[in-house]
Amino acid sequence: MEVNNTYQTPLSSRYASKEMAHLFSPAMRFRTWRKLWLNLAIAEKELGLPISDEAIEQMGKNLNLDAAQFELAAKEEKKRRHDVMAHVHTFGSVAPAAAGIIHLGATSCYVTDNADLIFLKEALTLVLAKLAVVIDRLSSFAKQYRDLPTLGFTHFQPAQLTTVGKRCTLWIQELLWDLRNVKRARDDLGFRGVKGTTGTQASFLALFDGDHDKVEALDKRVTELLGFSYAYPVTSQTYSRKIDVDVLAPLASFGATAHKIATDLRLLANLKEMEEPFEADQIGSSAMAYKRNPMRSERICSLSRHLMVLHQNALMTSGVQWFERTLDDSANRRITLPEAFLTADIVLTTLQNVSEGLVVYPKVIARRISQELPFMATENIIMAVVKAGGDRQEAHEKIRVLSHQAARVVKEEGGENDLIARVKADPYFDGIKAQLDALLDPRSFVGRAPEQVDKFIDEWVKPALDQEEFKKELQIATKAELHV
């Protein structure tokens, strides 16, 4: 097949959802251009320009391109060396009554930039919906394991205990910030509107014989017809490329969140405490049959790094725009903007798949706790001795000696931590031996972790997800929809 002889980006051919891939497809792009031309003509007609009903009708009936239209547009572009004018002529071929007024008064950026803003707005909406689902799934996991003690790590060295659910809330909190940031970026998006070649609206002022009010009304009406609440008050030929910076920033920030979550899961998989889904027939290694590699989490990390660096691209492009515009942004943005959203989409889909199939191994977790908890419990043991009438300094010295002996067994002999056995064998601790089991209960070392999980979900997660735009997505999203 020809498709196998031509490079295709794995973002669309291998990973991304149909919805996101279609949004940035040629079919959607050129249909949106035609919709922009149609609505410009409608607004111009409403404000008194001589545009016929037949022209509007023919344009409205031919928004979608068939194979013949794509072929004709390709031929026109080869001849004219200008993609927008190629499509103006192609549109006119199926809407002949409108051929003379298509693109009237507009510059190329009327369709290219306004279309990009439409795509950015819709793409951010798709990202928001998927983010909400991931947050919902991880919240269910956090509630399920709200009170399961697990060893905490600082510097990836054993620290005080936490719970599996509490650790998960750390991931969710960052995702909530991502949800907030993406929503802000989407809701803040404006429209380039009808601004002319250098943003002065001179061509439209000429069309309306110097009537400034009609030019302003045209800008406002087209903005409304395309579903935006406002247009940017001033632009050059393009909308400011700083808008791309503001849109890609929350995506890059989400990439950092996803990378952190997936890295934690990869480390936990090595510890055998938790792992991502692993199908019955899945192969972890072509050579080592026993391997259960965390390939989904590794994919998340891999793509998240790509997502994070794309923001730098937008910053560089924004900083080198000369005066009213330069064209060295065009080819760059054709790659950067779709890739950012396709990548975010893939990461979210994979993260949802992982979050819906996380496997926890409580016995492994308990065993690791048993290796470290005796050392953590030494202060509790000392306090118990003092309460029973003992001397604090004497108890401290007894525990110090026994702890070092136990540590030597673990580190030099590769044995188990036998500190508690040593305490039980020492007559000095006879007065508190009946309390040892209670003093070593892992649940007494997790502080308010379970309560923090409950409060966090009730006061932060539920209100964030209790928005109308997320409810449908949360209802229909299921494991069956994901093929990762």
Residues acting as catalytic residues: 155, 285
Question: How far apart (Å, rounded) are the C-alpha atoms in residues 160 and 115?
Answer: 53
H-assigned helices in 11-107: 18-23, 26-46, 53-61, 67-80, 83-94
Burial 336-345 (b: 16+ CB within 10 A, else e): bbbbbbbbbb
Burial 421-442 (b: 16+ CB within 10 A, else e): ebbeeeeebeebeebbeebbeb
Helix/strand/coil percentages in the chain, nearest 5 = 70, 5, 25
- How far is residue 112 from each of residues 69, 122, 232, measured CA to CA in Å? 19, 16, 16
**Overall residue count recorded for the chain in this entry:** 484
Question: How far apart (Å, rounded) are the C-alpha atoms in residues 364 and 271?
Answer: 8
Q: Is 153 helix (H, G, I), strand (E, B) or coil?
A: strand
Task: Report which residue type is found at 290.
Answer: Y
Cβ atoms < 10 Å from Cβ of 398: 20
Angle at 409 (CA atoms; ends 406, 414), nearest 5 degrees: 140
Is the separation of the CB atoms in 129 and 470 below 8 Å? yes
